[in-house]
Amino acid sequence: MKKLFLALLLVALAAPPAQAATQKRTVVYYQTQYSNGATGTYVSPKPLLDRGTGVTDVLVAAIHPNDNRIVHLNDHPPSHSRYTQMWQDLAAMQSRGVNVIGMVGGAAQGSFQRLDTQFDTYYPLLRDTIRTYKLNGVDLDVEERMSIAGIRRVIDQLKTDFGTNFIVTLSPVASALWGGGNLSGFNYEELYRSHGSKIAWFNGQFYNGWGNAGSTAHYDQIVSRRVIPVNKVVLGVLTSTANGGSGYVTMTTLKNTVTSLKTKYTNFGGVAGWEYFNSLPGGTTEPWRWAADVTAMQK
């Protein structure tokens, strides 16, 4: 009996420990805080938490260090009263484990030119905004020309100021991750080779002609280059035909693509959606449903 017990014990010790399922990223961009313009209705991100969607990261857009040396969140300083409720809602989400990340830049030009050529003037404005609103990280959406030295300097300083747990992501067009078309002016594979350990992941834009989420082909093309690991490549998609230009894929098509990707790659990086307020299938009345559906696709 003792020998049997010892044999069973040895087998148990030799077996690998059970691994909890790792949740994939469900990333939601949150730029439209008020529907129907400046005088519209406040769009709270909190249903993403309250409805149990499984959202992992909310990217608050878009932060701009402006040439008047005042940081704006879209058209107003982040301290404006129109954002008071938003910051409270986001803090409540943070307290429940959702990362709140500030998206810097985007289509509006100038933010990264300033950070590149006038770093000592404009970086402290970004740093102080991160501190004031206790952001978990920043998403660097470089859609203008910037030197690779400049983006490295920004990443290095963020890590110096906020530590190793601070999240730094980038949002290149998808083709930039396979050596194709690029809006940023620097080579992302070269950046990854030097700074990959400091970059949490890439929210690749698989739309507007820069990539396509209708199949796995373009995602596979990135992975096949063996530079940026699959767990750091997030499939960025449009959440509605009304968002951006072209390349929206239906939820049925997206589910087929995501199902194939998670089958091919056990460490598939996740899905990001631009943007929250009118996400299909719920639209403006239930925009949280997109995130719930995407989380379910990845299980």
User: Domain with 122 in it: what CATH number?
Assistant: 3.20.20.80
Give a yes or no: residue 143 inside a domain.
Answer: yes
Give a yes or no: residue 270 inside a domain.
Answer: yes
Give a yes or no: residue 254 inside a domain.
Answer: yes
279, 242 contact by CB (below 8 A): no
How would DSSP label each residue in 173-193?
A: BGGGGGTS--SSSS-HHHHHH
Number of domains in the chain: 1
pLDDT at residue 108, rounded to an integer: 87
CA distance 6 to 12: 10
Give a yes or no: residue 34 inside a domain.
Answer: yes
pLDDT (average), residues 156-174: 98
Give a yes or no: residue 76 inside a domain.
Answer: yes
CA distance 32 to 5: 63
Residue 167 backbone phi and psi in degrees, to 5 = -90, 125
pLDDT tens string 222-252: 999 999 999 999 999 999 999 978 999 999 9
pLDDT at residue 244, rounded to an integer: 78
pLDDT (average), residues 173-184: 97
Structural domain including 87 reads: 23-297
Give a yes or no: residue 2 inside a domain.
Answer: no
pLDDT at residue 6, rounded to an integer: 38
Mean pLDDT of the chain: 92
Q: pTM of the prediction?
A: 0.91
pLDDT tens string 71-106: 999 999 999 999 999 999 999 999 999 999 999 999
CA angle 118, 123, 129 (to 5 degrees): 145
Give a yes or no: residue 5 inside a domain.
Answer: no
Give a yes or no: residue 46 inside a domain.
Answer: yes
